[in-house]
Structure 1
Amino acid sequence: MENSINSMEQIEKYLGSKAENLLNYKATCISKERLTLPGPSAMDEVFGISDRNVQVLKSLSSLYQHGRLSGTGYLSVLPVDQGIEHTAGSSFAPNPDYFDPENIIKLAIEGGCNGVVTTFGGLSLHARKYAHKIPFIVKINHNELLTYPNKYDQIMFGSVEEAWNLGATAVGATIYFGSQESNRQIVEVAEAFERAHELGMATVLWCYTRNNNFKTKEQDYHTAADLTGQANHLGVTIKADLIKQKLPETNGGFTALKFGKTHPDMYKKLTSDHPIDLCRYQVANCYMGKIGLINSGGASSGADDFSLAVRTAVINKRAGGTGLISGRKAFQRPMKEGIKLLNLIQDIYLHKEITVA
């Protein structure tokens, strides 16, 4: 495991012309004093007084106390559900070694991650060897892409009981908020999360928006701060312990698409067009940071991956987020480079100079 920390000079180099705007920005909307911020005692302060049982507290603690970010209150997670969500061929063609799910687990361990997200199949083959070495998060539902024409629906691939049987620390699930199937998904996942908590596992929710009408000729609003923020708020309502969300790239989805309920202050006082303020609105919708927001690392674009990973991590941390869940940028390259990228992300959260805006 790599222990060196990239210097601020190196981080600024990765950020390039965006360095000043991102590293020195002072939040103008929701102040950091209103947030519950990540830190060594944040989990105790939030979950220690909640209804989570002792076994859930142990599971959450095992996530927060593992890897290079252990004890900081921040998380670096490696996900590998892309073989189903994006097809295995498209996901693993850049590095066929990762058709073997054991290599994903090795990458997470060597990369110093807090945990690894895997599938029932991947965990069932390797649980005896690795479940006690790194926290496993089992993805219990997926969108399969073999139906033609493609449909976009999250369906259950296994039971919460089986995840527990295999030694999982947490279960993960996706809801496509805004889709025709979202009501069913909300009910299914809420029931699954309740059962997971009963059994002592933590819960992680991918709060993605999905509706063809969320995209116009001019703009794609699937990553609008107002829509993703509301998805987050629905997610914490069904007792997700962590929220995974894509970094916001725009705002004003409700107003542009002319639906939902809004208030002028949502756009005038609670957010601005700065990426840190947009992400902070996502954090605010996670009970003002009491439930941690981990942003998605996004697709791999090749040479720019390291710069984009640094940018996303800086925005998440300075907004008050809890970390990054980054997969394709790490596993679609040689393992040594993947470890370097994961360590680079973790360095952002280890740097005391990079503070909450």
Structure 2
Amino acid sequence: MLCTDDVKRRLHFAARFESEKNMPQSTTELLGPDGPHLLEHRCETIDQSRLHLPGPDFLERVVCGTDRNQRVINQLARLFGHGRLGGTGYVSILPVDQGIEHSAGASFAPNPDYFDPENIVRLAIEGGCNAVASTLGVLGAVSRKYAHRIPFVVKINHNELLSYPNSYDQVMFGSVERAFDMGAGAVGATIYFGSPESRRQLVEVAEAFEHAHELGMATVLWCYLRNPAFKTDQDYHTSADLTGQANHLGVTLQADIIKQKLPTNNGGFNAIQFGKTSPLVYDELTTDHPIDLCRYQVANCYMGRAGLINSGGASSGASDLAEAVKTAVVNKRAGGTGLISGRKAFQRPMLEGVELLHRIQDVYLDKAISIA
């Protein structure tokens, strides 16, 4: 006898079958006119031979030569070995920490099921993710039931915007010890590089990451930029040169995986006329092609020794699938390690979220999509 969930699942897919007959199914169709521009591009800035590329042997080839202790390597092996991308060297992570900064209402009203932490973890499992990243409260609420089933990445600092007037600062919400006690495989944190509070955040995160490594947990750093001065003629919070430097600071803190937004422009250092750069960054190491811009981000992650995962961004509705697949193609062809996509997946019915996660993963499973 079929259980209720099985019946719902079959009815759901039966109902969607007719409506999706004419929807684009292949990656090429989803990319549309951008397909040739992204799939046929050859990177002539930083050659792929200089990179430490993802692959089934990435841990043995790269990580095992570091100062990480065996317990950290074991946790990274578990993370890289889990889910649909297990054993490929690529990762797909579901992050759901938006309820603190964006408010739970703004985050979960589109699908109230995700007010319940268990559904967040279930989405990551059914979506074939390598790991689920969320808050101490969310993962702690269901850790006894799920921590052995999928790697947990516990986010230990957050920016909350209930305080009025708003201020933008990452503050600690939990400890490394609590994450360790619940069986987490990794801790995550954010630094707002460029903000007045960034140096305090840097010290806090450096100490937390060192302690996490001592206990045998991996580390994931959200390397975000935050400063009103980064907006001049354009918004340079996602410029390749500034985000690249944020990545370089992140790997200096010994983050095992770097989370960064996909670059949308370049020349941030020149525009804000602050800090130091080199003309070679713009003349030889980058172009205006999105894959070349992302490759500069990878280069700043010690040429790929620390994996770069790009974020999927906010949900835009009907265009979410195409946007997510495009981001995955850019990340993979640039030499990145995967995608970390949350709102595009959880702000919709679970089965649709599962589908979207699978389509992202299909990009990394497709051997025809190679390094540029």
TM-score bracket relative to the smaller structure: over 0.9
Partner of 1:173: 189
Q: CA deviation at 1:9?
A: 6.8
1:20-35 matched pairs, under 5 angstroms:
20-35=36-51
1:150 pairs with 2:129: no
**Greater RCO, 1 or 2 (C-alpha within 8 Å, sep 6+):** 1
1:236 pairs with 2:265: no
Which residue identity is paired with 2:235? D
1:36 pairs with 2:52: yes
| TM-aligned CA distance change 1:330 to 1:9, over 3 Å | closer
Equivalent-residue separation in structure 1 for 2:61 and 2:72 (angstroms)? 15
In structure 1, list runs of 5 or more residues that go unmatched. Answer: 3-7
Equivalent-residue separation in structure 2 for 1:303 and 1:328 (angstroms)? 13
Partner of 2:239: 224
Which one of 334, 346, 350 corresponds to residue 361 of structure 2?
A: 346
Equivalent-residue separation in structure 2 for 1:141 and 1:347 (angstroms)? 32
Partner of 1:78: 94
Equivalent-residue separation in structure 2 for 1:118 and 1:206 (angstroms)? 13
TM-score (norm 1): 0.97
1:157-168 matched pairs, under 5 angstroms:
157-168=173-184
Partner of 2:199: 183
Partner of 1:257: 272
Aligned partner of residue 228 in structure 1, secondary structure: helix
1:334 pairs with 2:349: yes
In structure 2, list runs of 5 or more residues that go unmatched. Answer: 1-8, 10-23
Aligned partner of residue 118 in structure 1, secondary structure: strand
1:108 pairs with 2:124: yes
Aligned partner of residue 124 in structure 2, secondary structure: helix
* 1:50-89 alpha-carbon deviations (Å, 9 max, x no partner): 1111110111001000000000000000001000121111
Equivalent-residue separation in structure 2 for 1:318 and 1:85 (angstroms)? 32
Partner of 1:60: 76
Which residue identity is paired with 1:12? T
* 1:242-283 alpha-carbon deviations (Å, 9 max, x no partner): 000000000000001101101110000000000000000000
Partner of 2:291: 276
1:316 pairs with 2:336: no
Equivalent-residue separation in structure 1 for 2:36 and 2:87 (angstroms)? 29
Question: How much identity, in percent, do the aligned residues show?
Answer: 69
Q: CA deviation at 1:149?
A: 1.1
RMSD (Å) for aligned C-alpha atoms: 1.1
Aligned partner of residue 26 in structure 2, secondary structure: helix
Which residue identity is paired with 1:311? K
Aligned partner of residue 303 in structure 2, secondary structure: coil
Which one of 142, 145, 152 corresponds to residue 136 of structure 1?
A: 152
Equivalent-residue separation in structure 2 for 1:130 and 1:9 (angstroms)? 32
Number of corresponding residues: 350
Deviates more, 1:102-111 or 1:43-52: 43-52
Which one of 281, 288, 292 corresponds to residue 266 of structure 1?
A: 281
Partner of 1:126: 142
Partner of 1:96: 112
Partner of 2:215: 199
Equivalent-residue separation in structure 2 for 1:149 and 1:214 (angstroms)? 21
Which residue identity is paired with 1:34? R
Greater gyration radius: 2
* 1:297-328 alpha-carbon deviations (Å, 9 max, x no partner): 00000000000001000000000000000000
Equivalent-residue separation in structure 1 for 2:75 and 2:288 (angstroms)? 37
- Moved runs in structure 1, 4+ residues, more than 4 A? none
Q: CA deviation at 1:29?
A: 0.4
Equivalent-residue separation in structure 2 for 1:125 and 1:12 (angstroms)? 41
Which one of 260, 268, 287 corresponds to residue 245 of structure 1?
A: 260
Equivalent-residue separation in structure 2 for 1:76 and 1:211 (angstroms)? 29
TM-score (norm 2): 0.93
1:210 pairs with 2:226: yes
Equivalent-residue separation in structure 1 for 2:266 and 2:65 (angstroms)? 34
Which residue identity is paired with 1:69? L
Which residue identity is paired with 2:273? K
Equivalent-residue separation in structure 2 for 1:125 and 1:206 (angstroms)? 23
Equivalent-residue separation in structure 1 for 2:39 and 2:129 (angstroms)? 24
Aligned partner of residue 207 in structure 1, secondary structure: strand
Deviates more, 1:58-67 or 1:41-50: 41-50
